[in-house]
Amino acid sequence: MMTAPAPFLLKDASVSRVMTQVCLALVPGIAAYAWLVGPAVLIQLVIASLAALLAEAVMLRLRGKPLAMFLSDGSAVVTAWLIALTFPPLAPWWLVATGTVFAIVVAKHLYGGLGQNPFNPAMVAFATCIVSFPALMAQWPSVGLQMPLLDQIDIILGLAPRVDALSGATPLDAMKTALKLGDGEIDVAHLLANQDIYGNFAGRGWEFVAAGYLIGGLWLWQRRLISWHAPLAFIAAFVAISGALWLYHPATFANPLFHLLSGGTMLGAFFIVTDPVSGCTTPRGKLIFGAGAGLLAYIVRVFGGYPDGVAFAVLLMNLSAPVIDLLTQPRIFGMKDES
C-alpha cells in the first residue's frame, strides 16, 4: 500500500483557503452593516482592499519576496476588511487607506511579514488612527441616515463637505456621554427606552450587525477554522464583568446583552482574538488570552476615554501572548509533568 508521507492532513488548510473562508464568514455581518448604514461600507471595503494589496506588493518587492504567491494568499485582504469594518463608514478615503497602509507596512512587514507579526495588524490600524485622528474616527452616521450612493461617495472622496448633522456618536459613546452629563440622575434603562438610537437590546440596527458577525463566527467554528476557546473566554469574561457591575448598580451599568451586541464585541470575539498569529496557540493559553482581552475591553470601553476598548485590549493581550504560551505548554503525552 502506498501512502503519502506524514503529516496526514484531512483537508487543504492552505493560507489562501483559510483566508477566503474568513472573508466569507464576514459576509453576513457586512450585509447587515450595509443594510444599516448604506453602501458606503462596501466602498470602504474596496478602498481598504486596494490600499492593502498595493502596500503588500510594494513591501514584498522591497523585501525581494515572490509577489504572486504572497499577494494571492488573501491575508492582506482579510486585514483590509477588518479595518474597513472597524472604521466609521463615511470616513474620508485617506483615513482608511492610511490605516491599512500602516497596518501592512509597519504592523506586518516590518516585523517579518505573514505569520511573524506580534500585533494584530487591523487593531494596530484602528489604534493608530483613533489616537491620530480622534475627531474623524468619532464621526459615525446617525441612525436611519438615508443618503444616495453618489452622495456617500462624494463625502468619502472629500468632494462634498462633511456636514456635522450626518454624523452621530455610536450607541456606546452616546450612552457614556449621557451618563456623564446626567451625573447620576439619568439611568441606563431610561436611556435605552427613550432614545431613538437604541433598539431592543443595544444600538438600533447594530444588533443585527453583531448577530451577523456571530453567525459568521459560528460558521468558522463549525468549519474548525477557529477553536472555541478564545471566543468563548472573551464572551464569558465580557458577560462576567458586565453582569457583575450590572447587578451591583443597574442604573449606571448596562446589561451584558447590551455590551455583547454593541461596538466591536462580536467582531472581536470571532475575528480578532482568534487570530492564529498574534494570539496564543495553546488551548489554555487561548482561554487566558480571550478572557484577558474581554476584561480589558470592557474596562477600557466603560471607564476609559475611547468609544470602544476591543482594539486596545487585544493589543495589550498580544503583548502578553508569548508569556502566556510559555506558561501554558501542555503536557506531552507519555512525559511527566514538570519537565
Q: Residue for cell digits 501542555?
A: 330
Residue 221 C-beta: closest distance to another protein, Å: 34
**Interface residue with another protein, options 14, 116, 132, 177 (CB under 8 A):** 132
**Which of 128/320 has CB closer to another protein?**
128
Apex 235 CA angle, 310 and 201, nearest 5: 85
Q: Is 133 in the site for another protein (CB under 8 A)?
A: yes
**Minimum distance from residue 194 beta carbon to another protein (Å):** 36
Q: How far apart are the first and last CA of the chain?
A: 39
CB of 278 to another protein, least distance (A): 17
Question: Does 155 interact with another protein (rule: CB under 8 A)?
Answer: no
Rule CB under 8 A: say whether 128 interacts with another protein.
Answer: yes
Residue 320 near another protein by CB under 8 A = no
Q: Which of 136, 175, 269, 311 binds another protein (CB under 8 A)?
A: 136
Is the Cβ of residue 7 or residue 305 nearer to another protein in the bound state?
305
C-beta separation of 235 from 210 below 8 A: no
- Give the three-state DSSP class for 141: strand
Is there a contact between 78 and 125 (Cβ–Cβ < 8 Å)?
no
Q: Indicate the Cα dihedral angle 135, 138, 143, 148, nearest 10°.
A: 60
What is the b/e burial string over 3-15, where b = at least 16 CB atoms within 10 angstroms of the residue's CB?
A: eeeeeeeeeeeee
Nearer Cβ to another protein (133/221)? 133
Q: According to the binding rule CB under 8 A, does residue 157 interact with another protein?
A: no
Could you give the maximum distance between any two Cα atoms of the chain, in Å?
78
Point out which span in 59-67, 69-77, 132-140, 204-212 binds another protein (CB under 8 A).
Answer: 132-140
* Nearer CB in complex with another protein: 128/142: 128
Compute the least distance from the CB of residue 102 to another protein, in Å. Answer: 8
Cis ω on the peptide bond leading into residue 7 (within 30° of 0)?
yes
Q: How far is Cα 307 from Cα 70, in angstroms, rounded to an integer?
A: 35
Residues 66-125 that bind another protein (CB under 8 A): 98, 106
Q: Least distance from C-beta 94 to another protein, angstroms?
A: 8
Half-sphere exposure for 252 (CA within 13 Å, toward CB): 12
Which residues in this chain contact another protein in the complex, by CB under 8 A? 98, 106, 128, 131-134, 136
